[in-house]
């Protein structure tokens, strides 16, 4: 899609459609104002959020169509709402054969955050998960161009970089598991790193065995697909102002059957998205390489397939993690935390001073927060404050969950240092407590994105499938460092 800044007056823009924003109770000031007011007066358009109305051959305009997109309550309209509005308008119009769109922003909404969000929304809305449909007639249509009236070129460029990174993350998580194996994920990361100027290292099974990553290797041993530990490194071109190194760690289970503790068959096909945390980290590193924040960032992605093969890990097995701590495996379907503990330890060994991990870790977080917010856990309130500020600025909703010491009682093992599950009560909390035991005093945040990483049904502004959640937050966190 061609993204451009449009300098002409709205009346002079030549496009298949020009979009203006209409709020509740007030028609936008635009050409064809009388026609727009008629829509309000008749109740055909009310300004409700994400409502779309289209005027053909609007009076006084060169554009073929004028689309009025609902912004809801003007007082509550922010860049997050604009991102969704832009995506919803694109998805609605492209389905009607529109190929070129221009979005007009009023003066109060021409800041860099609004301009970037408008571009992000358009590109995210244009994305479709249809690459495996062989019939061209069944493939979704796409925009040729998107122009913005209002805003700066630098803000639009940032929005394009972020949207491309998020869509890259979505394309990874949408891949079927027979295509995207752990080795395949490593190759995609290696290719991206080469294109963007990042350093990439991939540890194979033998190297992980030499290092002592027993927790990760225990999960991987039931699959014919070998595991991979992917390390992506970003180094600022100039000496960074601090010695901090931000570590982003993403769970990369390319398919999760549950292992011997096998999952129910209903819905198991969606377990290809159990590597959404990994996809978010890889996507974020792609954007970080282009936007060049002044902090060192290392991405660590443990990639495995969890299968019930003849050599699979058994309930009751005891493994020794990279940290030296032992874990009794009570449930092989609690595999994500097992690969993460070795990755978190390794990230610290690589010099990371601050850690954020993202994982589709528990069904419990979906029970607690649904598909609206990711759960955030931390051992450092100040660090979490920075991440939540970044998430808020990017419109990615998160909610802090507790980590009281009492929850660790559920992880006590009679035969090892701890076991890998804490029972049904507070399952997302005990999973986070398990991870916390392996980070020590290093400032750390765990994001459980199980409810927010995948859409079972399309939204007006986003296609069904992977959401790419976390990418924008990670990039903003690095840029604000």
pLDDT in tens, 83-137: 999 999 999 999 999 999 999 999 889 999 999 999 999 999 999 999 999 888 7
Q: DSSP of 128-143, one letter per residue?
A: ---TT---GGGSPP--
pLDDT at 98: 97
Residue 191 structure tokens: 């290719």
Number of helical (H) and strand (E) elements in the chain, helices listed first: 13, 20
What pTM was estimated for this model as a whole? 0.97
pLDDT at 194: 98
Q: Is the pLDDT of residue 384 over 90?
A: yes
Residue 43: burial class (beta carbons within 10 Å; 0-12, 13-18, 19+) = exposed
> Using an 8 Å Cβ cutoff, are 427 and 340 in contact?
no
263 labelled catalytic: yes
Q: Is the pLDDT of residue 306 over 90?
A: yes
Question: Which candidate in 83, 94, 337, 436 is catalytic?
Answer: 337
Q: Is the pLDDT of residue 456 over 90?
A: yes
Residue 407 structure tokens: 């929850």
Centre a 10 Å sphere on the Cβ of residue 41 and count the other Cβ atoms it contains: 10
Whole-number Å distance between alpha carbons of 245 and 439 = 15
Whole-number Å distance between alpha carbons of 262 and 242 = 46
The model's confidence at residue 238, banded by pLDDT at 50, 70 and 90, is: confident
Q: Is the pLDDT of residue 296 over 90?
A: yes
Which SS3 state, helix, strand or coil, does residue 117 take? helix
Enter the CATH code of domain 162-479.
3.40.630.10
pLDDT at 364: 97
Question: Which candidate in 263, 325, 397, 459 is catalytic?
Answer: 263
Which SS3 state, helix, strand or coil, does residue 75 take? helix
Whole-number Å distance between alpha carbons of 141 and 219 = 41
Whole-number Å distance between alpha carbons of 479 and 425 = 38
Which SS3 state, helix, strand or coil, does residue 67 take? strand
The model's confidence at residue 385, banded by pLDDT at 50, 70 and 90, is: very high
CATH architecture, range 2-126? 3-Layer(aba) Sandwich (3.40)
Domain spans, the chain: 2-126, 162-479
Dihedral angle computed from the Cα positions of residues 458, 463, 468 and 472, in that order, rounded to the nearest 10 degrees = -100
Which position has the token pair 């870790």?
361
65 labelled catalytic: no
Nearest to 61 by CA among 6, 8, 7, 12: 12
Residue 80 structure tokens: 């997050």
Residue 346 structure tokens: 């390794």
Q: Is the pLDDT of residue 32 over 90?
A: no
For residues 416-425, give the mean pLDDT: 95
Q: DSSP of 272-325, one letter per residue?
A: GGGGHHHHHHHHHHHHHHHH--SSEEEEEEEEEEE---TT---TT-EEE-TTS-
Q: Is the pLDDT of residue 304 over 90?
A: yes
Instruction: Report pLDDT digits (tens) over 140-198.
Output: 889 999 999 999 999 999 999 999 999 999 999 999 999 999 999 999 999 999 999 99
Tally of CA atoms within 13 A in the half-sphere of 162 that contains its CB: 27
Q: Is the pLDDT of residue 138 over 90?
A: no
Dihedral angle computed from the Cα positions of residues 71, 73, 74 and 76, in that order, rounded to the nearest 10 degrees = -100
Q: Is the pLDDT of residue 349 over 90?
A: yes
CA torsion sign for 393, 394, 396, 401 is negative
pLDDT at 66: 97
Q: What percent of the chain has pLDDT over 70?
A: 100
CA torsion sign for 348, 351, 357, 361 is negative
Q: Is the pLDDT of residue 62 over 90?
A: yes
Range scoring the smallest mean pLDDT among 30-34, 43-47, 463-467: 30-34
For residues 331-340, give the mean pLDDT: 98
Which SS3 state, helix, strand or coil, does residue 241 take? coil
- Mean pLDDT score of the chain, rounded to an integer? 96
């Amino acid at each position: 899609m061609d993204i451009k800044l449009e300098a002409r007056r709205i009346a002079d823009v030549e496009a298949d459609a020009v979009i203006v924003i209409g709020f509740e109770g007030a028609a936008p000031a635009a050409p064809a104002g009388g026609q727009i007011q008629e829509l309000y007066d008749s109740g055909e358009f009310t300004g409700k959020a994400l409502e779309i109305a289209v005027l053909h051959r609007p009076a006084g305009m060169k554009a073929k169509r004028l689309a009025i997109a609902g912004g809801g309550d003007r007082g509550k309209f922010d860049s997050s709402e604009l991102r969704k509005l832009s995506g919803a308008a694109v998805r609605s119009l492209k389905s009607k054969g529109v190929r070129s769109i221009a979005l007009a922003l009023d003066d109060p909404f021409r800041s860099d955050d609004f301009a970037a969000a408008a571009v992000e929304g358009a590109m995210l809305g244009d994305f479709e998960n249809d690459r495996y449909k062989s019939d061209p007639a069944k493939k979704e249509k796409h925009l040729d161009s998107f122009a913005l009236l209002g805003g700066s070129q630098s803000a639009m460029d940032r929005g394009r970089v972020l949207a491309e990174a998020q869509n890259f993350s979505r394309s990874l998580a949408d891949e079927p598991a027979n295509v995207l194996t752990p080795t395949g994920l490593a190759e995609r990361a290696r290719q991206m790193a080469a294109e963007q100027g990042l350093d990439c290292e991939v540890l194979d099974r033998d190297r992980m065995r030499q290092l002592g990553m027993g927790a990760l290797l225990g999960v991987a041993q039931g699959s014919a697909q070998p595991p991979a530990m992917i390390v992506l490194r970003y180094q600022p071109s100039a000496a960074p102002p601090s010695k901090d190194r931000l570590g982003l760690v993403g769970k990369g289970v390319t398919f999760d059957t549950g292992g011997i503790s096998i999952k129910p068959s209903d819905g198991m096909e969606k377990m290809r998205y159990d590597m959404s945390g990994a996809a978010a980290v890889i996507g974020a590193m792609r954007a970080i390489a282009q936007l060049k924040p002044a902090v060192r960032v290392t991405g660590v992605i443990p990639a495995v397939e969890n299968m019930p093969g003849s050599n699979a890990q058994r309930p009751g097995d005891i493994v020794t993690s990279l940290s030296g701590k032992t874990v009794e495996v009570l449930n092989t379907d609690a595999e994500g935390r097992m690969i993460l503990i070795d990755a978190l330890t390794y990230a610290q060994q690589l010099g990371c001073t601050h850690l954020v991990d993202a994982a589709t870790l528990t069904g419990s977080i979906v029970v607690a927060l649904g598909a609206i917010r990711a759960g955030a856990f931390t051992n450092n309130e100040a660090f979490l404050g920075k991440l939540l500020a970044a998430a808020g600025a990017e419109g990615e909703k998160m909610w802090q969950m507790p980590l009281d010491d009492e929850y660790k009682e559920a992880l006590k093992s009679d035969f090892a240092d701890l076991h890998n599950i804490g029972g049904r009560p507070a399952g997302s909390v005990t999973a986070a407590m398990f991870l916390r035991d392996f980070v020590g005093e290093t400032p750390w945040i765990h994001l459980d994105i199980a409810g927010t990483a995948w859409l079972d049904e399309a939204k007006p502004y986003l296609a069904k499938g992977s959401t790419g959640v976390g990418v924008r937050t990670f990039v903003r966190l690095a840029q604000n460092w």
